Chain A
Amino acid sequence: MNKLWLIFKREYSVRVRKRTFIIATILMPIAIAALAIGSGYITAMGADAEKKILVKDDSGIFKASDVDHRNLIFTFSESEINSLKESYGEEDYDLLVYIPPFNDLSLTTHDVEYFSHEKPGIVQLERIERVIAAAFKEYKIQSSNIDRDLYDSFGMSIEMESKTTEDGAEGSGSGKTAAIIGTILGFVMGILMYMVILIYGQMVMRSVMEEKISRIAEVMISSVRPFQLMMGKILGVGAVGLTQLGIWMILIPVVLTVVPLFVPGLDSGSMTDMSSAGASAEAIQQAAEGGFDLGLIIDEFMRLNWLMIIPVFILFFLGGYFIYSSVFAAIGSAVDEDLGEAQQFMLPVILPVILAFMIMMSTIENPNSGLAVFGSIFPLFSPIIMPARLPFDPPMWEIALSLFLLIATTLLFIWLSGRIYRVGILMYGKKITFRELGRWMFTKI
């Protein structure tokens, strides 16, 4: 036990002190911040730059409305449209808008023309359209003598709330927002697992190979059991991974909130909008219009069953990491210096990871499909897929079954890998086949 601790400590401290680790750990949040600031800045420059717009309003409706809008500056002119066409550029306007007369209140569309020397962005045009449309709507309400409150009440919004039909189960009341949050959270957790398995699993493999090639293995094995050496390494690298993730989880939000304070003309809101995965133009508009209720999001976010999600996620995290990294350790011990040889063995290991990733993508769209249920229970897939399902309240028995299978498989894989490892680490100059590996599991040493 004491020796395992010593090995763990060495594996951990050697990696954490490495320059590459420190750089990667610090650089990643900086890169994310740079990306967010960069894209936020570009959007801000594009969308938020002041536009001077010259309007010739023959309908008189827009002119009469309250047209103050953040950075769209409207100026009205009564001059002849044809002469305006000649002069608007020289007078430093970006855009010339012509609104034809409007007489029929029943019309639902009204064509407005614009002229510009440079092609304006679609986002900009849509904003102008919305501002003008809002003025027309106001005009229509007033000229139809409709009561304002009555009119507002026409705008209905429907929230789909899920109620389970299971006996005794209290509907959690999660709405569409909850589904969106679940999707994003599930996606993030699934992708995290995928990365952890591939990156840290292979780190274990390379490190085992190094130990074998440098022949330190024989010295070590004369002091400690092969199993201790393997587990010390797996645990040490795992702890390095957790450290890195932990630092990122703290550093990335800090960077995203602090940095904008020092960058003029940027509010953190627009940045996080941009950095969130699917920041389409539409989503930004919706956010700008207040279509997304931030309070609701936070509410739903807090309503998630974190007491269940966090421990279960950690269990699946550990299970997935242990299963795959122990297999990678066994591969590293079996091959010689030839990295190509290692690749041949890695393919069948990476395949289920990729498959699981693909199933995970469909799981977040349809978290209760047969495929999703199977994937979240099958132990080679479940570490990636079950976390993605967690925000959607999968049945308790499925989680329990999946966890049971995962733990059993983890123990089995660690044991089998240990059997291969103890033979492989001392075996040199031999081409290894899958059959040979299988034999190693059951030979004495």
Chain B
Amino acid sequence: MSILSLQAVRKEYRNVVAVDDVSFEVPEGSLFGLLGPNGAGKTSLIRIITTITMADSGQVLFNGELLNRKHIELIGYLPEERGLYRKMKVGEHLLYLAQLKGLSFADAKSRIKTLMERFEIVDWWNKKIEELSKGMQQKIQFIATIVHGPKLIILDEPFSGLDPINTNLMKDVIFELNNNGTSVIFSTHRMEQVEEICEHIILINNGKNVLEGTVSDIKDKYKEGIFRIEFEGALPEDLNNHFAVVSDTDHEVLIKAEAGMSPNDLLRVLLDRGFLIHGFQEVRPSLNEVFIRTVNSLGHE
């Protein structure tokens, strides 16, 4: 079951196609990465999903229903550009945003109290927003994003500007929510975070969907038959004849196998060559490499 399903969604601004026939599914309860270079159309897509704008054509289904304003109470959105009313107090600000998401005053208040405890900021209720640092404001905005218990949260660069401790705190909360069934769409340029957090990704470039799938499938797809071998002894002289040696140090060599060669085939060839193999591992590309390669191969038009 998909929490969100986009079907041939298209969005055009005056002379720019911001979203060009994009289709993808966000499985319910998944951690989903929405990736793409700057200006690829991520924000346009997010604005469509959050009902801020409407698609020119195509369909967006939320939980199987056509997306409509009713669903905004089931979605939480943390925009990349954060903003809060500077003159308001933390408590009343959170109450305001929570009530706008449809919570009753009492419900909103008790949920906010719980979340403030979770984020270790219980005594901030009467602080003014403008007295808080950027990172502190981000915590507040994150609370506002999740306070109404949305089924889907969309986080645009959620960790930018946070110190490592607070990054971890927020990550933990995200995982907790996810374990309880919340789906998360995660938009970022930080590939190591995507690799750490996301199960599924989609890569958007120039408004088009250029790559989609689970992280491990994509890595498999982009692997180039490169293996890392840790060894002891002398490398066989004729290794170069059989494989392309990518790099070569005292105890480690990276070799590129012929196309279609499985790890087992490779091992079989290597086993009786008179050197001791300590370690053997297929090298899969990092998402960072996949990202750069894909985007570069398409060109930045």
Contact = CB atoms under 8 A, between A and B. Distances in A.
Nearest to A7: B100
B83 interface: yes
Interface stretch (A44-52, A216-224, A240-248, A329-337): A216-224
Contacts of A10: 96
B52 A214 contact: no
Contacts of B72: 222-223
Interface residues on B, range: 20 to 34
B144 A14 contact: no
A219 B87 contact: no
Contact of B54 (A214, A223, A445): A445
A14 B88 contact: yes
Given A215-B79, A215-B81, A218-B52, A223 B86 contact: no
Contacts of A117: none
Contacts of B82: 215
Interface in A368-389: none
B53 interface: yes
Given A426-B52, A445-B53, A218 B99 contact: no
A214 B79 contact: no
Given A218-B52, A444-B54, A445-B53, A224 B100 contact: yes
A3 interface: yes
B50 A222 contact: yes
Interface string A123-167: 000000000000000000000000000000000000000000000
A220 B50 CA distance: 11
Contacts of A211: 83
Contact of A219 (B47, B69, B144): B144
Given A14-B87, A214-B84, A214-B86, A219 B97 contact: yes
Contacts of B75: 222
A155 to B, nearest CB: 66
A222 B156 CA distance: 14
A312 B141 CA distance: 46
B141 A219 contact: yes
A6 interface: yes
Interface residues on A, range: 20 to 34
Contact of A3 (B56, B85, B87, B100): B100
Given A444-B54, A444-B56, A223 B100 contact: yes
B51 A214 contact: no
Of A215, A218, A222, A225, most B-chain CB atoms within 10 Å: A222
B83 A214 contact: yes
B77 interface: yes
Nearest to B46: A222
Contacts of B88: 14
| SS class, residues of chain A in contact with chain B | helix
Contacts of A445: 53-54
Contacts of B151: none
Contact of B77 (A7, A219, A225, A439): A219
Interface string A413-430: 000000000000010000
Contacts of A216: 83-85
Contacts of A219: 77, 79, 83-84, 97, 141, 144
A63 B248 CA distance: 132
B103 to A, nearest CB: 11
A421 to B, nearest CB: 13
A397 to B, nearest CB: 43
A217 B84 CA distance: 9
B101 interface: yes
A206 to B, nearest CB: 13
B79 A218 contact: yes
A444 B11 CA distance: 10
Interface string B67-96: 001001001010101111111100000001
Of B51, B69, B84, B85, most A-chain CB atoms within 10 Å: B85
A396 to B, nearest CB: 44
B151 to A, nearest CB: 15
A211 B53 CA distance: 18
Interface in A428-445: 439, 443-445
A391 to B, nearest CB: 42
A219 B144 CA distance: 10
A215 B96 contact: no
Given A223-B72, A224-B100, A445-B54, A217 B83 contact: yes
A439 B84 CA distance: 30
Nearest to B145: A219
Nearest to B87: A14
Interface in A1-29: 3, 6-7, 10, 14
Interface of A: 3, 6-7, 10, 14, 211, 214-225, 426, 439, 443-445
26 contacts: A3-B100, A6-B96, A7-B100, A14-B85, A14-B87, A14-B88, A214-B84, A215-B81, A215-B83, A216-B83, A217-B83, A218-B52, A218-B83, A219-B77, A219-B144, A220-B100, A222-B50, A222-B51, A222-B75, A223-B72, A223-B100, A426-B53, A443-B14, A444-B54, A444-B56, A445-B53
Given A218-B79, A223-B97, 13 more contacts: A6-B99, A10-B96, A214-B83, A214-B84, A219-B141, A219-B144, A222-B72, A222-B75, A223-B72, A223-B100, A225-B69, A426-B53, A439-B14
- 8 closest A-B pairs by beta carbon, nearest first, are A215-B83, A216-B83, A215-B81, A223-B100, A222-B50, A222-B77, A214-B83, A218-B79
Interface of B: 14, 47, 50-54, 56, 69, 72, 75, 77, 79, 81-88, 96-97, 99-101, 141, 144
